[in-house]
Chains A and B, each alone.
Chain A
Amino acid sequence: MTQSPPPLQSSACGRLEAAWEVLRQIPDPEVPVLSLWDLGIVRDLRETAGGLEVVLTPTYSGCPATELIQDDVRNALARFGTVEVILQRAPAWSSDWISEVGREKLRAYGIAPPGRVVSAEGQPMRLVHRNAMTQLACPRCGSMQTERLSAFGSTACKALYRCLACREPFEYFKPI
């Protein structure tokens, strides 16, 4: 069972609301169909004396988009004053934090959304035999006749599959 994301503290006051509105629209640089909000990496937005403080949780340890995301957030919120971006590692981001809207957007974009994370704690290591892998629905035609082509994909967060029915390759957002 994964941890749920900590509750977000939102405030009704106008300036902060306006900043939230902007923050919710910033797209993820690698999967631009998703906003940072849909991806579930925005933890908090607070007012400071000179501007704003944004708390983000990185997805993967080595995700090369992390710096770009920080820049995007700073630029998008620049009109609210100085923007400080804080990276908060704990609790660790989980693909379970991707919103339902985000999952639908992924599917519509041709990326199979992640399945729910099953805790690996205490489970024995299991070899991934080719015929016993997760069965995924093709995000284009819905067929379950799909197979994995590559455990790693174009970004750290995805694997590559193909559909045997419509013959289209597609990406799978890995559950983590």
Chain B
Amino acid sequence: MSHVSIQVGNRADVHYLLRIADACLILSQRLGEWCGHAPILEEDLALSNMALDLVGQARGLLTRAGQLDGQGFDEDQLAFLRDERQYFNPVLMELPNSADGAGRQPGDFALTQLRNFGVATWLQLLWAALEESRDVEVAAIAAKAVKEARYHQQHAADWVVRLGDGTADSSARMQAALVVLWPYFNELFVDDEVSTAAAAQGLGPTWGDLKSDWQAQMDEVLADAQLKPPKPSAYVPAGRLGIHSEHLGHLLAEMQYLQRAYPGGKW
């Protein structure tokens, strides 16, 4: 494996799958940062296990995207040799675990759980829709992943309620995390030619198709958690177009370091 950066072509189906694969991969990397640092041992296990599920889901989709792209890239090359602008995850996934960036170390547990809840809610709806994909490989990945995502969603929802409807401090921190993350959720549901083309091909749903169900499930749990959804925001990040926050470059530097320093190195 060479260390030279690679670029995928412009096929809509490849970009559609990479948007999902990258969402799983980048959130997995963020959750991995908690390993050994979570506030309780049970959460250390939970966050690491969820990171593992997410990386497994990403691997399947990266492999499929590489096949459709047709340049011979495998899952490892796609994960470790793409630069920032070639990553198509929503910006939400790459935000540091702490709302104020360098603030709490290793991160803000409230923000981590709330993001996990929002993402797992989105992913379980997305995987359920992808089970009907005309691409049999994608449908097979989704059939497995949907069960994992449901477990993640329940687990995170449990925490959102426990912290939101908890002490004055936990509730204030949960509400603060909600304010920070709220505008970033917008990106999950914005359509463009990539998602409409994928839907037209029968590859998967448009992003907008998932919005009302996602909103309903979020509202239900936020109400249970005594949290108040912030006002809608017009801000829409463009991570899916490869335009990222300042955080992704740092994340990739850490994630890709070994392959860049020792090209083709194997475990």
A interface residues, Cβ below 8 angstroms from B: 58, 60-64, 88-93, 120-121, 125-128, 149-154, 156, 160, 174, 176
Cβ-neighbour of A120 out of B50, B147, B224 (below 8 A)? B147
Cβ-neighbour of A60 out of B139, B148, B221 (below 8 A)? B148
- Do A90 and B136 contact each other (CB < 8 Å), given the known contacts A62-B55, A151-B46, A152-B42? yes
**A89 and B54 within 8 A (CB):** no
**B144 and A92 within 8 A (CB):** yes
Query: For residue B141, which residues in chain A have a CB less than 8 angstroms away from its CB?
Result: 61, 89
**B137 and A127 within 8 A (CB):** no
Number of A-B contacts (CB under 8 A): 90
Ordered by A's residue number, 8 sampled pairs between the chains whose C-beta atoms are within 8 Å are A61-B53, A61-B56, A62-B59, A89-B60, A89-B137, A150-B46, A152-B49, A176-B148
**Whole-angstrom distance between the alpha carbons of A89 and B60 in the complex?**
10
**B144 and A125 within 8 A (CB):** no
Cβ-neighbour of A127 out of B56, B60, B150, B161 (below 8 A)? B161
Taking the complex as formed, is B179 at the interface, i.e. its CB lies under 8 A from any CB of chain A? no
Cβ-neighbour of B46 out of A93, A128, A152 (below 8 A)? A152
Query: For residue A156, which residues in chain B have a CB less than 8 angstroms away from its CB?
Result: 49, 52-53
**Whole-angstrom distance between the alpha carbons of A125 and B224 in the complex?**
13
**Whole-angstrom distance between the alpha carbons of A150 and B46 in the complex?**
8
B interface residues, Cβ below 8 angstroms from A: 41-42, 45-46, 48-57, 59-60, 128, 136-137, 139-141, 143-145, 147-148, 150-151, 153-155, 157-158, 161, 217, 220-221, 224
Beyond A61-B148, A90-B143, A150-B41, list 4 extra A-B contacts (CB 8 Å): A61-B141, A62-B52, A120-B150, A160-B45
**Whole-angstrom distance between the alpha carbons of A174 and B46 in the complex?**
14
**Whole-angstrom distance between the alpha carbons of A121 and B50 in the complex?**
21
- Do A127 and B140 contact each other (CB < 8 Å), given the known contacts A60-B53, A61-B148, A120-B147? no
**Whole-angstrom distance between the alpha carbons of A92 and B137 in the complex?**
11
**B55 and A92 within 8 A (CB):** no
Query: For residue A150, which residues in chain B have a CB less than 8 angstroms away from its CB?
Result: 41-42, 45-46
Query: For residue B53, which residues in chain A have a CB less than 8 angstroms away from its CB?
Result: 60-62, 156
**B57 and A62 within 8 A (CB):** yes
Query: For residue A153, which residues in chain B have a CB less than 8 angstroms away from its CB?
Result: 45
Query: For residue A174, which residues in chain B have a CB less than 8 angstroms away from its CB?
Result: 151
Cβ-neighbour of B154 out of A61, A128, A160 (below 8 A)? A128
Which residue of chain A is the closest to B148 with respect to CB atoms? A61
Query: For residue A61, which residues in chain B have a CB less than 8 angstroms away from its CB?
Result: 53, 56-57, 59-60, 141, 144-145, 148
